[in-house]
Chains A and B, each alone.
Chain A
Amino acid sequence: MLKNWKTGLVFLFLSGLILLFIVAPLAGMFLQTSGSQYMETLGDTQVRESIRLTLLASLAGVVIFGIAAIPLSYVLARRSFPGKGLINGLIDLPVVIPHSAAGIAILGVVSRGSLIGQAGEAAGIQFVGGAAGIVVAMAFVSIPFLINAARDGFEAVPEKLEKAALNLGASPWRVFFTISLPLAKRQILTGLTMMWARGLSEFGAVVIIAYHPMVTPVLIWERFASFGLSYARPVAAVFVLLCLVIFTVMRLLAGTSRNGVKQR
């Protein structure tokens, strides 16, 4: 179809338009930030602290909630049970609701008056206005990316390989860790990366749980609201560049294996 030059031209034009739509605002942001502004922003302790907090909080969310999410993905991939469709729908819920609403919902669960909030305070963990709350908010809105990717990954692993491993005398645990998990590795890594990325960019839910300590999306908002575009832009440019570097590296690392099978 694309060999027809008229059709090809239309598709090329529309594709270019969409790519421009994605790239132009970001390119504009990078180009409108001068070298001295980059250096100044990188030297700003508040910016550095917020970036560190954002990266670590999102990572903590991935590690803590990902451990439980991967077995759930496996169950969803392998078992049929009443209400499975409903559970799959529930998993997508954090993606489709407004994130400020998600923040309100989480606040109800981790506020100081709640059971979890009180238990956290007793253990010295502060959710509202604390890093723990940021971790929960980031994980809440980003966990569907991991669960869906991991479920697709496990579904792509032939069940027969697991049965073959059981037949060879392996325990169900060993089968999971040596067959299912390695073969779904690529999709799981993609899911983990997407979850982390989505956590990094979260603003709506985080700002309701914890305005302080300030994650970078909140800092960008605060600088924009208080000082205007020219103060917020360098922080946004530095943060986006950093994220681009990290994800490019992660993509490259994930690209070294396909479907968990080592390439020769």
Chain B
Amino acid sequence: MSATQGPITESGTPATPDPEQPSRWNQAFREITTGNAIISVLAVVLALFVGGIMIAFTNDGVQEAAGYFFSRPGDLLREVWNSVAGAYSALFQGSVYNFRRPSFAAGIKPLTETLTFATPLIMAGLGVALGFRVGMFNIGGRGQMLIAAALGGWVGFAVDLPYGLHMVAALVAGVLGGALWGGIVGLLKARTGAHEVITTIMLNYVAFYLVSYLLREGFLKTPGSNNPKSPATKATAVFPDLLGSTYSLHFGFILAIAATIFTWWLLSRSNLGFQFRAVGLNPHAARVAGISVKRIYVYAMLFSGGLIGLAGINQVLGTTTSGFGAGLDSGIGFDAITVALLGRSKPWGVFAAGILFGAFKAGGFSMQAAEGVPIDIVLVVQSLIVLFIAAPPLVRAIFRLPAPGSAPRRALPNVSQEVAAK
């Protein structure tokens, strides 16, 4: 693609060959159309469009109308519109605001559901993103969440503590559990050089079977029950509701915001975060600069695992307090990777991506219930969004936007830096 090659050759030329400024509107237009924000918006539009095609193609009404397309083409168009608009309006009403409800308080409930779904995604996404910034790929979200839930959950149902203190104790236990499970990976990488992709995948399975065993025969077993499920969390440890008991939004969302601020501070304001980023950009240079790369690997996995552990304990103390099984992570550990990628491994980016994916999750269920569109379409749309955002030249080519390099007197870095989200 010529657009990708253009800026590379031009980046070396001296800036401002032409002293005359174009109009401010023109400049503003160029900044908007070549910026990252427009790419993100267009990527979402494009992904929804592809999803719409899939919904329309598999809809029974559309297929029927396609049979007599040449006699009444209007029918086909109407059916396509009905199926796609129906699905997406159900998605919107299930995730943001439901117009069919009588009052605002009832209508806004889907939005609180979205935030509830987003909470663990944000927490775990932050953990994965932190790993990315250090150059480590943490696929171990599932295991870290399970261990966190096992330790924190045990404190939650087996220990007697006063209200408030109990919650804090369970939280700390959970975060420590996640950090421990992540720290093993960091330690193995630092000590023996074992590849973190292998060890995290393996530890996922180890954690799954360990927790399954503990639920069946160990200290997580509910006395007198054969169900592999833990006892319910005690009321003293459960997260308080934020908006009263009619909404499911709980204190975990505040924790997610706090975790985002903490990760932002850690990565961009702290000494340790500087070392994290240095190792992530170039471990050899970091080592020459006197940073102990191995130590940083361990710390990074401790923090990464701790953040993902927060997501695990959030599920036990906030979302499902009636006891958990071995399937508690329900794919969040893997979704977190996409969230981190969409958020470009930046804390607030992850926060926004988490809310977007939370909305898809909340809306997806109501779309499946109302329109019969399988929730898997949400996965398609989510992955397409990430794919398109990662490749700005593709989106520009589709919408015929000007490439950044073609803007007058703006020497831009070459495209590979722009897409390097890791």
The answer to whether A and B assemble together is: no
